[in-house]
């Protein structure tokens, strides 16, 4: 599906954080024209009332989310709650590119879906992480070329996967006993009004959630590490909300693989250098410099650093992303570009906003 000219894109769930961020990126994309925008509870409201930052679209009225409202577009973006995308996606034509920002179509295992989400599995779509390494040496971007359905990865999953996968693919680290601790901005929890997400509760506090193996991103992380070549995977995953609106800082540690216990820091770093040398949006930082979320704000950038803790026999990786850009909407644009045969970097930037 190679496309020239401007493509009309509809965004369902345009009142939410993910939908609003996709619209922000779409407005600067050289090949996109924003068409219908829809919402559920905010239907009938001007977009500028719920997304005041989108000034050029402020007068657009949010329509109800129906198949009829989404008809007649080249690209449809579904920024809907988990469990809501499957039924709606089934009504859309096969020749339309549909990008699901939710989780409904990410997992290959229906059993994993039902265990973590508690509803029937809607099916599996091509997975929208272009940089995902495959055990055979290929990358996921090859699968995305010409795709008409794309499941955009979870934001936490993106941070952990991009951090650890080079070591797994190179056989240097074991995917058993992986420990991931993440600091996550509040926009990752969505826009719904909940008492624990109020500023009065969150400011000045760091709050763990989904502790003890209950977070829904765990099977998706395991799925990605198996794709990179891991025979077995076990992940201890603990996210913590911290008082910032955007960003994820993931600290991931894993044991050196059997036979590689004497690996040097240079050997470890070489695996990450090789994996990301040609990637436009993933950067291994110079030695001694560590990722910060502030450096990724507004950008489709993943910053990564790796170190060897020789005394512990573990590799330590730190990665930073903007959860709404490389973690969601920017990732969707990147995957969309590949599917449509456009330049992969179209409409995306690597420079963050600071301070």
pLDDT tens for 46-78 read 999 999 999 999 999 999 999 999 999 999 999
Percent of the chain with pLDDT over 90: 92
Residue 105 has pLDDT above 70, yes or no: yes
Crossing angle between the packed helical segments 218-227 and 110-117, to the nearest 10 degrees: 160
For residue 355, is the peptide bond before it cis, meaning its omega torsion is within 30 degrees of 0? yes
pLDDT score recorded for residue 184: 97
Mean pLDDT across 203-232: 96
Indicate whether 164 pLDDT > 90: yes
pLDDT tens digits, 110-133: 999 999 999 999 999 999 999 999
Q: pLDDT tier at 4 (50, 70, 90 boundaries)?
A: low
At 263 the pLDDT is 97
Q: Exposed (0-12), middle (13-18) or buried (19+): which is 107, by Cβ within 10 Å? A: buried
Q: Calculate mean pLDDT across residues 288-310.
A: 97
- Asked whether 163 and 304 are in contact (CB, 8 A), the reply is yes
| Bridge partner residues of 319 (DSSP) | 250, 304
Listed by start position, the domains of the chain span 7-152+326-340, 156-323
Query: What was the pLDDT predicted at 202?
Result: 87
Note the helical H segments in 32-154.
47-50, 67-70, 85-89, 110-117, 141-144
Summarised one tens digit per residue, pLDDT across range 219-236 is 999 999 999 999 999 999
Task: Cite the active site residues.
Answer: 155
Q: What pLDDT sits at residue 30?
A: 97
Mean pLDDT of all residues in 235-256:
97
Burial class (CB in 10 A: 0-12, 13-18, 19+), 37: buried
Task: Return the pLDDT at 28.
Answer: 96
Q: Do the domains at 7-152+326-340 and 156-323 have one common CATH topology?
A: no
Residue 3 has pLDDT above 50, yes or no: no
Quick check: 233 and 220 in contact, CB under 8 A?
Answer: no
CATH (one of 3.30.360.10, 3.40.50.12370, 3.40.50.620, 3.30.70.2750) for 156-323: 3.30.360.10
Task: Note the pTM of the prediction, 2 decimals.
Answer: 0.96
Q: How large a percentage of the chain has pLDDT more than 70?
A: 99
The CATH number corresponding to 7-152+326-340 among 2.60.40.10, 1.20.58.220, 1.25.40.10, 3.40.50.720 equals: 3.40.50.720
Q: What is the average pLDDT value for the chain, to the nearest integer?
A: 95
User: What is the 3-state composition of the chain as percent helix, strand, coil, each rounded to the nearest 5?
Assistant: 30, 20, 50
Beta strands in the chain (DSSP E): 7-12, 32-39, 63-64, 75-78, 97-100, 149-151, 178-184, 207-208, 235-241, 248-255, 282-284, 302-309, 314-321
Strand order in the sheet with 282-284: 207-208, 235-241, 178-184, 248-255, 314-321, 302-309, 282-284
Is the pLDDT higher at 274 or at 4? 274
Rg (CA), the chain: 20
């Amino acid at each position: 599906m190679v496309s020239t000219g401007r493509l009309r894109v509809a965004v369902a769930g345009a009142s939410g954080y993910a939908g609003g961020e996709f619209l922000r990126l779409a407005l600067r994309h050289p090949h996109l024209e924003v068409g219908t925008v829809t919402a559920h509870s905010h239907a009938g409201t001007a977009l500028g009332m719920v997304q005041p930052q989108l000034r050029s679209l402020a007068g657009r009225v949010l329509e109800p989310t129906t198949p009829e409202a989404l008809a007649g577009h080249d690209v449809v973006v579904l920024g809907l709650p988990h469990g809501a995308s499957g039924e709606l996606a089934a009504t859309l034509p096969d020749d339309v590119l549909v990008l699901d920002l939710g989780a409904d179509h990410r997992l290959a295992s229906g059993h994993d879906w039902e265990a973590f989400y508690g509803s029937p599995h809607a099916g599996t779509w091509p997975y929208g992480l272009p940089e995902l390494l495959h055990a055979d040496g290929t990358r996921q971007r090859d699968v995305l070329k010409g795709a008409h359905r794309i499941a955009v990865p979870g934001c936490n999953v993106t941070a952990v996967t991009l951090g650890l996968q080079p070591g797994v693919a190179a056989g240097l680290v074991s995917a058993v006993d992986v420990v991931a601790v993440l600091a996550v901005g509040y926009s990752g929890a969505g826009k719904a009004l909940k008492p624990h997400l109020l500023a009065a509760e969150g400011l000045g506090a760091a709050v763990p959630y989904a502790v003890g193996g209950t977070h829904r991103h765990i099977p998706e992380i395991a799925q990605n590490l198996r794709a990179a070549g891991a025979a077995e995977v076990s992940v201890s995953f603990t996210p913590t909300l911290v008082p910032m609106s955007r960003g994820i800082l993931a600290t991931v540690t894993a044991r050196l693989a059997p036979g590689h216990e004497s690996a040097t820091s240079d050997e470890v770093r070489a695996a990450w250098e090789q994996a990301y040398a040609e990637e436009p949006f993933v950067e291994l930082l110079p030695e001694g410099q560590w990722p910060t979320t502030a450096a990724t704000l507004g950008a489709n950038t993943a910053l990564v650093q790796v170190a060897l803790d020789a005394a512990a026999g573990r590799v330590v990786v730190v990665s930073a992303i903007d959860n709404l850009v490389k973690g969601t909407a920017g990732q969707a644009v990147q995957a969309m570009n590949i599917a449509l045969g456009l330049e992969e970097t179209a409409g995306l930037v690597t420079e963050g906003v600071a301070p």
